[in-house]
Every structure is written in C-alpha cells, then in structure tokens.
Amino acid sequence: MSEQTQFTAAIVDFITGMDGQTPQGEHLRLARRCLMDGLAVALGGSEQPGMAPLARYIASIGGAGQGRPLGAGDVRLPAHLAALWTGTAGHAMDWDDTQLAEGPGRPYGLLMHPTMPPLAACLSLLDLAAAEGGAPVSGARFLTAFATGFEVGCKVAEAINPDHYMRGFHTSGTIGAFAATAAAARLLGLDADATARAIGIAASCAAGIRANFGTMTKPFHVGRAAENGVTAALLAREGFSANTEALDGKWGYLTIAGPGGEPELVAHRLGQPFTMVSPGVSIKPYPSGVLTHPSMDALRFLMRDEGLAAEDVAAVTLHAGSNVLGPIRFRIARTELEGKFSFAFLLSAIILRGRCGRQEFTDSFVASPECQDMQARVETAFDPAIEAMGWDRIRSRIELRTHDGRQFTRWADEAYRGGPDNPLSDREVEEKFTDNAAGLLDPARQQALFDLVWSIDTAPDAAALLDALHWGAFAHHGA
C-alpha cells in the first residue's frame, strides 16, 4: 500500500485512538481559547441578516428534536440542521479563527477556519449523545471530540495541494466537512470501520466555491460543512456504505479536488504536534479575512501615532502581493457582506471609526455617504517587490496622503496582532465575546459563560454551554 493510500487509515486511527486523550497543557489552554472565540462569533453571528432566511428554511422542514442550535433557546431540531444553523452563524461575520500554513508552498494564513465546523458538529450532537448514552456528555469528552476534529481538518488542509484554494474552492467548506466528520465520529464513539465510511460519505459532500464570497452563501459553506459531518457520522452509524479510502488514490478527494497533495507531510504527524499548538492558530481581531488584518492595524496605528483624523485623509493606497489582494473581490463595498472582501471599506472603517468590529459591519454604515465617500479615496496596488518576498508572511505597505500634502508610509507588522507571535490576551478574547454578546447576554451571564469555558475540561455536562448561550435567536428571526 502506497503512502497516499494510507492517509485515510492514519486519520481513522487518530480519531478512534483519542480515548482518554483530553487536551493537556498548552493544547488545553489553546482549545479553551478557540472554544471561547467560536462561541463568541457564533453568538454574534446568529443575528446577522443571512440567518433570518436560514431560520425560516430550517423551521419549514421540522423533524426530530435531536439537538439545539446555538442561541435558539429551547428549540429542538434534527442534529444535522442544528449543526447547519450553528456553523453558519459562526462564520456569518467572518470573525472565526484561522489556521496557519506550515508546509512548503502553502500561503501563510490562508488554509481554513478550523474551529467552527467541528464545534458546531459537537454542539449539535450533545443532547442526542446524552439521550442515547443515558448520561450527560462531559466537558472532557466534548473537548476531546472538538480538538480531534480541529486537528484532522488542519492536517487534511496541509496535505491537499494549495491549488485547491487558488482554483476557487473554499477550504473551510470543503476540508471543514472532514473536520466536522471527525468530531462527530469521535463524540458518537464510532468504531474504525464506521469512521472510515463516515469520511467516505463526507468526501462526496465536501464543497464550497469562492465565487460566493461576499454573499450569504459563504458562511453557509461552514454551516454545510458542519451539517455534512453530522450527516456522514449518523449515516455511517446506521450502516451506510462508502469507500473507506476516500481521501486516497486515483479517484480520492485529494487527487480530484486538489488536484493532488502531499499526505506524506502529515500522515505521521497527526497530533505530533497538534496544529493548534504549532504552527498555531490566529484568533481574529477583526471580522474579515485574516490576510486583511495586518494592513488594517498598520493604518490604525499610523493614524494614532501621527495624530491624524478622518478629515485629514485625502487618499490611501495599499501596496501588497497577490496573496493579500487575490481574495479581495469588491473595489467599493455596498453591503457589509461585500465589505469583508473590500479593502476600501475595511480601511475606511479604520479611518472613520478607529475600529472595525460588529458595529461597523452593518449595511447602514457601509452604505452611508461618509463611508462611500471615504471608500472612493482608498486604492490597492499590486506590488511586484512585495510579491517577490514570498507568501510565507502577510506583507503590505500603507501610503497615506493628507489634504495639506503630507505623506506617510507604514509597513504592516509581520508579527500581526492575533497571530501566534502576537496573540490576543485571554482578556482580549473575553472582550471580543462581550462585543458579540452586546444586547444578547447581560454581564452576569457572560461572566458565567467565561467561568464555564475556562474550566470546560472539568465540567460534568458540556450542554451547559448551550444553556448559557440561549437568547431566542429563532424567535428573533420569526422562524
């Protein structure tokens, strides 16, 4: 058997061999942080405009009350639909964490959003697993399943040819399906054969294309990945058949969707080390693609250090390579969804508000006359010299001209805020949660949630997370 035909088997061995291996040490610390961040962005994302039609769609289907969608109170849904809701909410603001690249030729910071697919899958199965097992799912069991899915997704994303993303696949939707499947299989306790079949089923579901960036369908990719993972695991548990080497060989996922890949880079490194630990994960300070963050910070700190105000700014030009400019689709944003893929908007928000968070990502602010006027003053320029420096870091340069003729230049810091070399503090992660919870959870409930997450590995019932986060999201959307 070749190296490539062993990749699926290596993943199955890892998933089914995680008994008693709750994250420890630094892995545990980071897993709690990713959990806190994932819950934050899913809570805030649950009230985004795209969630209203999704809620109506889900309500129209109905079905067995197997699991609870995050934020929806006492609503019970089929587990796969609960995963669809939570996963979509978690990516609705594009504020969920980002996996860093490690292998050669991998564009730094441009692989996948690793937390939401496995987290949404695990949350959606908590009630079902407890009902079938006759006992609550412990925090340790929940965290182990989540971390298992996180690791599998990251390693598959490392293995597949980077051309997978460059050709237009959205990795968080495609590879996210394998992350969710691994988490669901681990939480449900599937054996090796069922786990391999679940991966095979997921391989025929894993999809998502970048043409839908800037629309409600982009976060739907992550919701669908979570849904696909839960569906695959439940189908496999019922005996549904699938190829048990579906990642491998001539017709396997890596070959077809890559095309190709280098599974030998990761097949023997699952958990050695965990990707969450090394090379690490970026917890985002802004609700947009991670490749935009260093430039946003560069402009923010330039204006702060030079004492500049919005009325001083005549023009801004961002110089960068294709790794930074390539995912940007909109010259001028008209909606908040387009704004996530428009440097004109992202930099205008920094100029006008000195920040770019949940309150700035609204259709009303993006379309406001002041924001539209400022966007017209912000340009991007491909820079061959920056391109020649390579894609191993997120590099860019801001040039700003004032109305009185002054010129300022600032390079983006390679140790960008939120990345492993310059991480958000635990307190900043909590503040991000508070930003997302504003108007939804009062301070006492937020603090109770903080206490629960920071000790989740010792919690007797992980479903307490869902209890703590309900605010009636489905009712809010009129579902």
Per-residue tens of pLDDT for the chain, all 479 residues: 344 458 999 999 999 986 557 899 999 999 999 999 999 999 999 989 999 999 999 999 999 999 999 998 789 999 999 999 999 999 999 999 999 876 666 766 668 999 999 999 999 999 999 999 999 999 999 999 999 999 999 999 999 998 998 899 999 999 999 999 999 999 999 999 999 999 999 999 999 999 998 899 999 999 999 999 999 999 999 999 999 999 999 999 999 999 888 898 899 999 999 999 999 999 999 998 888 999 999 999 999 999 999 999 999 999 999 989 988 889 999 998 899 889 999 999 999 999 998 889 899 999 999 999 999 999 999 999 999 998 878 899 999 999 999 999 999 976 688 988 899 999 999 999 999 999 999 999 999 999 999 999 999 999 999 999 988 787 778 77
**Per-residue pLDDT at 358:** 85
CB-count exposure of residue 209 (10 Å: 0-12, 13-18, 19+): middle
Nearest CA to 298 out of 407, 392, 400, 401 is that of: 400
Q: What is the dihedral of CA 157, 184, 459, 86, to 10 degrees?
A: 80
**Helix intervals (H) in 75-216:** 79-91, 116-133, 139-159, 163-166, 171-188, 192-203
**Per-residue pLDDT at 1:** 37
**What sign does the dihedral 132-138-141-145 (CA atoms) show?**
positive
- The segment(s) of the chain belonging to CATH 3.30.1330.120 are 290-411
**What is d(CA 343, CA 346) in angstroms, rounded to the nearest whole number?**
5
The backbone torsions φ and ψ at residue 265, rounded to the nearest 5 degrees and listed phi first, read -70, -25
Terminal CA-CA length for the chain? 51
Neighbours of 1 (CB within 10 A): 8
Bridge partners (DSSP) listed for residue 396: 320
- The segment(s) of the chain belonging to CATH 1.10.4100.10 are 4-284+449-476
Q: What letters, b where the CB count within 10 A reaches 16 and e where it falls short, cover 365-393?
A: bbeeeebbebbebbebeebeebbeeebeb
Task: List C-alpha distances in Å: 476 to 46, 60, 71.
Answer: 10, 16, 10
Neighbours of 303 (CB within 10 A): 22
Cα angle, residue 37 at apex, residues 144 and 167 outer, rounded to 5° = 90
Write the DSSP string, 376-426.
TTEEEEE-HHHHHT-SSS--EEEEEEETTS-EEEEEPPSS-TTSTTSPPPH
Task: Give the CATH H-level superfamily of domain 4-284+449-476.
Answer: 2-methylcitrate dehydratase PrpD (1.10.4100.10)
Are 31 and 267 within 8 A, CB to CB? no
Q: Is the peptide bond before 136 cis (omega within 30 degrees of 0)?
A: no
SS3 198: helix
Pairing of strands 313-320, 396-402: antiparallel
**Per-residue pLDDT at 104:** 66
Nearest CA to 253 out of 181, 326, 194 is that of: 181
CATH topology for the 290-411 domain: 60s Ribosomal Protein L30; Chain: A; (3.30.1330)
Orientation of helix 7-16 relative to helix 139-159, angle to 10°: 170
Task: List C-alpha distances in Å: 354 to 51, 316, 430.
Answer: 28, 15, 20
Chain centroid offset of residue 439 CA: 23
**What is d(CA 279, CA 277) in angstroms, rounded to the nearest whole number?**
6
The H or E element containing residue 250 is: none
**Per-residue pLDDT at 33:** 98
Tokens of 389: 């420096």
**Per-residue pLDDT at 38:** 98
In the chain, % helix, strand, coil (3-state, to 5) comes to 55, 5, 40
**Per-residue pLDDT at 108:** 64
**Per-residue pLDDT at 265:** 85
How many Cα atoms sit within 13 Å of 16 on the Cβ side? 17
**Per-residue pLDDT at 447:** 97
